[in-house]
Amino acid sequence: MIDIKEIWIEAEEWVEGEWNYENDNTDVIVTLTNGERYIGSFFTYSNICTLTDKNMKTGENLSGKYLWASDMILIDRCSRTDIEKVIYELMEQGELTSIFSKIEKDSV
Backbone angles phi, psi at 56, to 5 degrees: -65, -35
- Per-residue confidence band for 106, with pLDDT thresholds at 50, 70 and 90: low
User: pLDDT at position 107, please?
Assistant: 57
pLDDT in tens, 5-41: 999 999 999 999 999 999 999 999 999 999 999 999 9
Name the DSSP class of 105.
T
The one-letter amino acid at 25: N
How many C-alpha atoms does 44 have within 13 Å on its Cβ side?
Answer: 16
Distances in whole angstroms, Cα of residue 62 to Cα of each of 20, 53, 54, 55, 74: 27, 12, 12, 8, 22
Q: For the chain, what is the mean pLDDT?
A: 94
